[in-house]
Structure 1
């Protein structure tokens, strides 16, 4: 273990270089005795950088508010039975859709694993050090209602939710949004259009969206900002909640 004097430790902590300090302190002098200064420094920096990255990723995952924080695209059950296209799932896992500003829709019956897939995709984005956030549609509606009652509330609301590189909206169109909510959705999706990715988890097929959005000009405009640049994933009818309960 490398010996470091108290004053040097204090300075490293003061600079916020705790990971570097811990990497220095954990370096085995016997194993590194024959190494040059550059080689030892590289080892220390690599170790500190690894710790820094891990902490950053864990922080992104924690702040994403995932319903299923342990969700993993690489560990999906019954892929064939559910009719999931493994190539599409693997491609989504690269997060290249985010660079292209594409949206994703997970559509299927209740219990078919839409929420899990949405969380897994958001977590994958976090692992790529991309800022993501998960929210249920009813909670988004409640947050919007609260924003309406606060000074500058709507401005702050739109700024917050437009800023996430990946925004997962679960239970999309579970209820019919009112006029205020439709106006908000149009403005939010306009701000996110072509520069951020929105993931929709819904039991409703695309053909039902227009009617659930009120069938008017807001519905036209909202649909126009979603359907043309979106990866559609059918999650099927297999009940994954029942499957999970049987395997407990």
Structure 2
């Protein structure tokens, strides 16, 4: 009877209950409990298993460089000047529900990518769909799709509107061509008011105009980003790479 029950549970994709049921069947301590208590434990195990499975899938789909980054491990050294209260508040995901963006700015090695990823993992824990990508890679991807002229460009833009949070690393690391700025405007237009975005940049937004080149396009892009954004400056007399003994690549 137990084998038949377990087979049916697996067939119904209730593997967590099947596993917990097998444990209960082989352990006499469980058999001393009443039906409601045992049922509650079975359901809790299945719920936990499914939740963990969903979290794993969301983190995997996000394509993080370091999926172990987490809010709990952020280091609040005095010279970094991070506001812990602000970071914990943002980690709650309210900015995503409200359609706001985050701008993380600071020099190389200050920990922008780690902080952005920690926010991303936190969003995954809250069942938000997240995607991490470097801006140069995104521009290359969209440029190739645009050249293909087979509709893949629009489909690709639409794909990025299906996430709740997009993390754009290495934002405006170099000057953009007019074609790249035009593509970036299309991205910004697609994301505006629909997808929250985290921008990781080495330069302050006041200097973004120069990197975007075309003044008209620059104004249009910045208008869709800056007014809806929280800004966090990550300072530090010592880089995080140096603190952790990591050589710069």
Q: TM-score, normalised by structure 2?
A: 0.91
Mapping for residues 201-220 of structure 1, pairs under 5 Å: 201-220=200-219
Distance 1:140 1:164 in 2: 15
Offset, 1:16? 1.8
CA-based RMSD: 1.9
- Number of residue equivalences: 244
SS of 1:134's equivalent in the other structure is strand
Q: Deviations over 1:187-246 (max 9, x none)?
A: 222222223210000001011012211242211111011111111000014311111107
1:1-248 paired onto structure 2 within 5 Å: 4-5=2-3, 7-27=4-24, 29-150=27-148, 151-237=150-236, 238-245=238-245
Higher helix proportion: 2
What secondary structure sits across from 2:183 in the alignment?
helix
Q: Please, which runs of 5 or more residues in structure 2 have no aligned partner? A: none
Please give the per-residue CA displacement for 1:126-174, whole angstroms capped at 9, x wherever unaligned. 1111110111111112211221233211012101112111100000001
The answer to whether the Cα contact below 8 Å between 2:181 and 2:214 also exists between their aligned partners in 1 is no
In structure 2, the CA distance between the partners of 1:146 and 1:20, relative to structure 1 (3 Å rule), is: farther
CA shift, 1:20, in A, is 2.1
SS in 2 for 1:180: helix
**Structure 1 pair 79–197 and aligned structure 2 pair: CA distance change class (3 A):** farther
| Distance (Å, rounded) in 1 between the aligned partners of 2:167 and 2:19 | 36
Q: Is the 8 A contact 1:104 1:233 kept in 2?
A: yes
Residue 93 of structure 1 deviates from its aligned partner by 1.3
